[in-house]
Amino acid sequence: MDLFYLGIVIFLFVLAVFDLIVGVSNDAVNFLNSAVGAKAAKFKTVLFIAAIGVFIGASLSNGMMDIARHGIYQPQYFYFSEIMCILLAVMLTDVVLLDVFNTMGMPTSTTVSMVFELLGGTFALALIKVSNGSSAGLGELINTDKALSVIMGIFLSVAIAFFFGMLVQWLARVVFTFNYKKRMKYSIGIFGGIAATSIIYFMLIKGLKDSSFMTADTKHWIQDNTLMLVSCFFVFFTILMQVLHWCKVNVFKVVVLLGTFALALAFAGNDLVNFIGVPLAGFSSFMDYTANGGGASPDTFVMHSLLGPAKTPIYFLIGAGAVMVYALYTSKKAHNVIKTSVDLSRQDEGEENFGTSPIARTIVRMSSNLSNGISKVLPERSKQWIGTRFRSDETILADGAAFDLVRASVNLVLAGLLIAIGTSLKLPLSTTYVTFMVAMGTSLADRAWGRDSAVYRITGVLSVIGGWFITAGAAFTISFFVAVIVYYGGTTAIVILIGLAIFTLIRSQVMYRKRKDKEKESETVKQLLRSTDNAEVLNLLRKHTREEWSKVLDFTAENFERTVTAFLHENLRGLRRVSGAVKFEKQLIKQLRRTGTLATARLDNQTVLNKGLYHYQGNDFVGDLVYSIGRLCEPCLEHIDNHFKPLTAIQKGEFADVTEDITYFLQRCRRQIEDNAYGDTDTDFSKAEEIIRQLSRLKREELRRLKNHSGSTKVSMVYLAMIQEAQNVVTYTVNLMKVSRKFEAE
């Protein structure tokens, strides 16, 4: 039996390694977002500074480990086997859940996931114990206060961080403006002093408060002399930053890199429990059972030892720090999560990753009305002066940066300060929530959410916030059921669940790589939206257009044939797949049109007049093609779903022949657009006319049959709809080829 539980402990540590990797992938956005978004230094330099902070923070961490020992469950009421069941359920759930969010590029809270996984697993075992006649009730078995404090922390973090991010950034922009280099002669010293002091205060209060070298006397001394320490730091750093400015050093870069280090240190020091706290609790439980069990059964040995404080061996902390640094350097998913946060806060318009939603549209309208109301009250001279402080055309941005160093500094300083103040007041603020919402608040204050992008950005923010609550619900539910399965299923269930977790992780990695391969194809769009040269923009737009229009033609050919084949064979599942594919493709068409609008806005007026119309017409035609496939699929799907009579053998045969011709025609046109070679267009146009004549003949024959009452009316109506949409597909393709040829012509 000891070997069985030893195997579980070893597996818990194996899972901890994976959990550290996926956890860092998720939480790296907290401390890398600002430095990466503002291009404060080379990416490798930023990673190096963050890695030092992560390693030091992990190596000095210890105090927060108690939450995994007795923060949610009351160990004095649980047996050793029950504790191991809870811990195994938590780790299996955590690794898979965080990996799912990382794959989607959505930042979430590792603290929330761990707390609610512990709560779900504990609730499952508590219900089992109560049903088995335990003398302790649910209220005694579970510490619900911790879970409630985390839920309150979500609301507090979101509201407080967003409001203060917006307020402080607005004040900072009024002081420095977007052309900050002209207005930092003397104010930069004071700003640098405040920023550096806030960061040091944050490191002392939050980053190092539970470090292994922090004795009780040291904590009391810092607490008693906080005002004196802050004053001394402020004077010292104000003088230092002013001197650095006189020495031509960019103080904002210093602040951003120092803030990155501080947040990385705090993350590793305080969030390490989210990744290794549970395996360490399992290890401690196993050591206590083997040392003091005295041959007792795992089902009767009570875990009083977990009530004591955690004493984590230093080699565990150093090992965890090394794994976190490795994950920070190698995880592509970490870069993906960072991209989501940076894209939502970037200063300029570009390719939006999120669509729109009714809530976002309502918020935009309400905000616009409020802004107009305030504008009417303010004096005209005040509005003009404020307008001079927010001239975004004067923005000083590094090459490829999403926002400037002023905003990056405010992001880091304010996030650190809010977390430090919240910690000192014992408010359960979340590092992830604070850093993300501060970034969103500062971007709103900077007017980065313009009328053309606000609805997309707000939808993205709401999606991320919704993901935080989904994390809590999913963590609780999955951990609950996994704990029940492990408890009743024993060794067999554990082996199956381990295999399922491994399969899920591997499948997630494969799907992620496929998705990243597709995203590589959008590099043209990134270059297009960064370029300012008219000739380069036109060439990149042509390249992007060829890529996208040829994809739509490929989609049309594939799904036209799939719809007809599925209908002829009465394959309901195949038609439903086409219907789903059409819905997804419609969203891509919306994005294609939006990208086209942003791109043509970068062209000069003459080029827009000469080429812009063809581009817009082409986008309309590819949209018509997708909608035509939808109109083709809809009556076919309804017909088969209602189990109506199929087409006659004659109808099937004649439409199958023309379908083959249409599919071949679409693929030929796709290759010509893709290769930008239009030498055979006249031949293809002649083929298109022949297909349309053939479809017209089929329509006349079907109308004649309908008039003579030979056959089912329902069948005839759906058949006529198919013929009409087939004609539309051919016509739209011909029109697309014509405008594509004109758009590409010099």
Residue 350 has pLDDT above 60, yes or no: no
Picking from 745, 696, 693, 686, the residue whose alpha carbon sits closest to that of residue 720 is 696
- The per-residue pLDDT for range 676-711, each reduced to its tens digit, is 888 888 888 999 999 999 999 999 988 888 888 776
Query: Residue 334 — very low, low, confident or very high, per pLDDT cuts 50/70/90?
Result: low
Query: In Å, how far are 426, 464, 528, 692 from 519, measured between CA atoms?
Result: 43, 20, 15, 37
What's the average model confidence in pLDDT over 223-229?
81
**Of the residues 477, 504, 519, which one is the last residue of a structural domain?**
519
Same domain, 414 and 528: no
Are 488 and 540 members of one domain? no
| H/E run at residue 106 | none
Q: In terms of domains, do 365 and 464 share one?
A: yes
- Note the pLDDT tens digit of each residue in 388-406: 877 777 777 777 677 788 8
DSSP for 285-344, please give it: HHHHHHHH-TT--TTT-B-GGGGSPP---HHHHHHHHHHHHHHHHH-HHHHHHHHHHHHH
Cβ neighbours for 74, distance < 8 A, ≥ 6 positions apart: 136, 140, 141, 142, 143
Q: What is the DSSP letter of 645?
A: P
**In this predicted structure, which of 438-442, 444-448, 551-555, 681-685 has the lowest mean pLDDT?**
444-448
Summarize pLDDT for 474-514 with one digit per residue, the tens. Answer: 889 999 999 999 989 888 888 888 888 888 877 777 766 66
Give the pLDDT score at 129. 87
Q: What is the dihedral of CA 218, 224, 228, 231, to 10 degrees?
A: 90
497 contacts 92 by C-beta, under 8 angstroms = yes
Q: Are residues 554 and 498 in the same domain?
A: no
Q: Which residues, listed in sequence order, are joined to residue 142 by a DSSP beta bridge?
A: 73
Task: Say whether pLDDT at 666 is over 90.
Answer: yes
The mean-pLDDT minimum among 355-359, 558-562, 723-727 falls in 355-359
Q: Is the pLDDT of residue 732 over 90?
A: yes
Domain containing 476: what range? 2-519
Tally of domains within the chain = 2
Place of tokens 């975004």: 392
Are residues 499 and 427 both part of a single domain? Answer: yes
Residues 656, 570 share a domain: yes
Nearest alpha carbon to residue 81 among 309, 282, 273, 275: 282
Please give the Cα distance from 559 to 629 (Å, whole number).
Answer: 7
Q: 79: helix, coil or strand?
A: strand
Dihedral angle of Cα 477, 483, 488, 493, to the nearest 10 degrees: 100
Q: What is the mean predicted confidence (pLDDT) over 72-92?
A: 87
Q: CB within 8 A of 267, min separation 6: which ones?
A: 27, 30, 31, 53, 54, 57, 431
pLDDT at 560 over 90: yes
pLDDT at 301 exceeding the cut of 90: no
Domain match, 83 and 230 both: yes
Q: Which residues pair with 302 in a beta bridge?
A: 79
Does one domain contain both 500 and 529? no
Q: 10 Å Cβ neighbour count for 167?
A: 14
| End position of a domain, from candidates 459, 491, 519 | 519
Q: Is pLDDT above 60 for 582?
A: yes
Same domain, 454 and 550: no
Task: Using DSSP, state whether 93 is helix, strand or coil.
Answer: helix
- Indicate if the pLDDT at residue 436 is higher than 60: yes
* 447 and 576 housed in the same domain: no
Residues 106 and 174 in one domain: yes
**Domain at 718, CATH number:** 1.20.58.220
Average pLDDT over residues 613-617: 88
Indicate whether 499 and 640 sit together in one domain: no
Domain boundary among 519, 554, 588: 519
Per-residue confidence band for 604, with pLDDT thresholds at 50, 70 and 90 = confident
- How high is the pLDDT of residue 138? 78
Question: 318-336: b or e for each residue (b if 16 or more CB lie within 10 Å)?
Answer: ebbbebbbebbeebebbbb
**28, 397 contact by CB (below 8 A):** no
Contact (Cβ atoms closer than 8 angstroms) between residue 463 and residue 353: no
- Higher-confidence position of 716 and 520: 716
Average pLDDT value for the chain: 81
pLDDT confidence tier of residue 573, bands split at 50, 70 and 90: very high
